[in-house]
Amino acid sequence: MLKVGMIRCQQTESMCPGTSDFKVASKGLGAFEETGPVEIIGFNSCGGCPGKNAVPRAKEMVRRGAESIVFVSCMGRGTPIGYACPHFESIKEAVTRAVGPEIRIFDYSH
């Protein structure tokens, strides 16, 4: 089973408990239809705009066993607030550089 670390938008924490992210991960739905069910080993926020803690948090999740980093749907798709992170692409690029090419990056969860 693929082990993933999830990074979410800090601004959505007050309204979204991550229920849909955990559900699609455990059932292999959404972004995980190709991989099947995944094990979540960490679930953190980006640290606030402009994603100031995304890189160290992603690196720590990889250090603790994540084989993949998932930017949950609030980051790239704006779910549930209807506004995607304006820093998403730069955060994703920085995390990708930091964790290396062997760590798969998912752009969304559901």
Question: Which CATH number goes with the domain that contains 28?
Answer: 3.40.50
Give the number of domains in the chain. Answer: 1
**What is residue 73's predicted lDDT score, i.e. its pLDDT?**
95
Q: Name which of 96, 107, 41, 37 is nearest 73 in CA terms.
A: 107
Burial (Cβ within 10 Å: 0-12, 13-18, ≥19) of residue 14: exposed
What is the pLDDT at residue 79? 83
Quote the pLDDT of residue 82: 86
Would the CA dihedral through 76, 64, 27, 45 be positive or negative? negative
| Domain boundaries, position 99 | 2-106
Residue 3: per-residue pLDDT: 98
Residue 15 above 90 pLDDT? no
pTM: 0.94
pLDDT at 49: 92
